[in-house]
Amino acid sequence: MKALLQRVSQASVSVAEAQIANIGPGLLVLVGFEPDDDAARVAQLTQRCMAYRVFADDRGRMNRSLRDAGGSLLLVPQFTLAADTRSGLRPGFSTSAPPDQARGLFAVAVSTAVASLGAARVRQGAFGADMAVSLINDGPVTFWLETAPSAVPAGAV
């Protein structure tokens, strides 16, 4: 799983020009899934996003997590994050999880966040939709997080 985490003062998602989700101060997290991802890895990285210390403490240092700061979370599925961009001028998507798998993994990310923060603090984009995402990046503060690659079995090339 790959996550692009952005600290925002506000963010929203619209589909067909209708706003479907919005938050005030908090995190906008774009998430992409890979074929090796499973529910445990997704839950682990989702928890890491919420615990990542990107909010200022009383001394102005990034020492507070989303949980500590009391902000909201907007999760947006974005399969292009898992694209293969290592060569050429066009991304390849064989490194992205198939839609059915990714849909289930996105549901795991959302349910993990809701269990941790409560439904009132979690919003989500629409899986598979053509979305317009708007944000005001606070800082700007943006981080790329990902799960460790799966171990390659001995003898595999």
Question: Residues with catalytic annotation?
Answer: 78-80
DSSP string, 66-109: HHHHT-EEEEEE-GGGG-B-SSSSS-B-TTSPPHHHHHHHHHHH
16: region left, alpha or beta (phi > 0 left; psi from -120 to 50 alpha): left
Q: Give burial (CB, 10 Å; 0-12/13-18/19+) of 80.
A: exposed
